[in-house]
Amino acid sequence: MAKFDIEISEVGPRDGLQSISTIMPTADKLAWIDALAAAGVPEIEVGSFVPASVLPQLADTAEVARYAREIAGLSVAVLVPNFRGAQNAILVRPTKMSIPLSVSETHSLRNVKRNHQQVLEEVKRIAQLVKSLPVDQRPKFEGGLSTAFGCTIEGAVSEDKVVELAVALMEAGCDEVGLSDTTGYANPAQVQRLVKKVWAAVGKEHLTGIHLHNTRGQGLANALAAVEVGITTVDSSMGGIGGCPAAPGASGNIVTEDLVFMLEAMGLKTGIDFDALFAARNILANALPNEPLYGFTPDAGLPKGFQRAL
C-alpha cells in the first residue's frame, strides 16, 4: 500500500529561508529537517546552489544536503540556477535537482540573469552531465516553469508560451517539468486549464508537481484544483514562509500545516503525522523568533475526534 496519495514537498528550507533576512544557523536547519522527516514529510527542498554573496541565507546548502541525504527514505531536492550550480549540487548526490525557467523573460533576466535560450542551453549541459553519471547516482532533473500563471513585472503570461517552454525543457533533457505560481496570480480554473494543456504537450507522466503561492489567498483553492485534476505532488512551506526575491510583492507559500489538514480531512493520505509536524513548527519558531509564521490549523488545533486518512 502506498504511503501517500499526495506527496508534500516541503520547500521552507529553500524557498522560505531565501526570502527572509534572518540567517538560520546550520544546526537549527538540521534539527528542523530532522523533525520534518520524522513527521513523515517525504521530500524536502533543502537549499539552492547559488553564490553565498547572492543568498547568504543558503550558503550552507552543501552541508545541509549532505546531512539530509543520510536520513533514510527522505527525498532530498535542491535548486540550481545554472550549470556551475549543478556541478556543485551533484557532489552531494541529491535525489532531485531543479532549474527555474521563468516564462516571463524579464523575470528570468532578473532571477538568473539569462534569457530563455541561455537557460535552455544550461539545461542541455546539465542534462548531459546527469547522463554521464552512473544510473544509480543520477538525480531526477526537473525544469521548473516559474511565473507560469502571471508575472508582477510583465503582467499576463501566455499559456501557449508556457506549453512551448515545457516542450523545450523536455527536448533539452529534463526528466519532468513543474508549474510554479511564483507571483500568486493563479486561480483554480487557470490551474486546471494549464495543467491539461501541458499534459497534452509533454505527457501526464512528465508533469506531476505544482508550486503555488498564497499571495492573494488562493493557495489552498489552487492546490485543491490541482489535486482534483490529477496532480500528485504539491509544494508548500511550513508556516507559509517564503516568496520570490526577484518578483516584487510575491510573498507567501502555501502553509504546509493547512495543506496537510485539508488533504487528510478529504481522506487523502499524506503520510504525515500532525503531532510531529507541529513539533517541527516549534523548532522553526524558536529558530526564527522574529519572523511571522502563518497557518490556521496550528492556531485552531485539530477538530475533536479528527482521524488521519488510512
Residues 6+ apart with CB under 8 A from 176: 140, 141, 142, 143, 205, 206, 207, 208, 209
* Alpha-helical runs (H) found in 81-232: 83-90, 105-111, 116-131, 159-172, 188-202, 219-229
244 labelled catalytic: yes
Tell me the CA end-to-end span of the chain in Å, nearest whole number.
10
Are 146 and 107 in contact by the 8 Å Cβ rule? The answer is yes
Measured between alpha carbons, how far is 56 from 175 in angstroms, rounded to an integer? Answer: 30
State the helix-helix crossing angle for 256-265 and 274-287, rounded to 10 degrees. Answer: 170
Residues 6+ apart with CB under 8 A from 115: 105, 108, 109
Residue type (1 letter), 188: P
Give the side-chain half-sphere CA count within 13 A for 218.
Answer: 20
Q: Which of 244, 272, 283, 284 is catalytic?
A: 244
Enter the C-alpha cell of residue 61.
Answer: 546548502
Q: What are phi and psi of 48, to 5 degrees?
A: -140, 135
Which residues form the catalytic set?
244
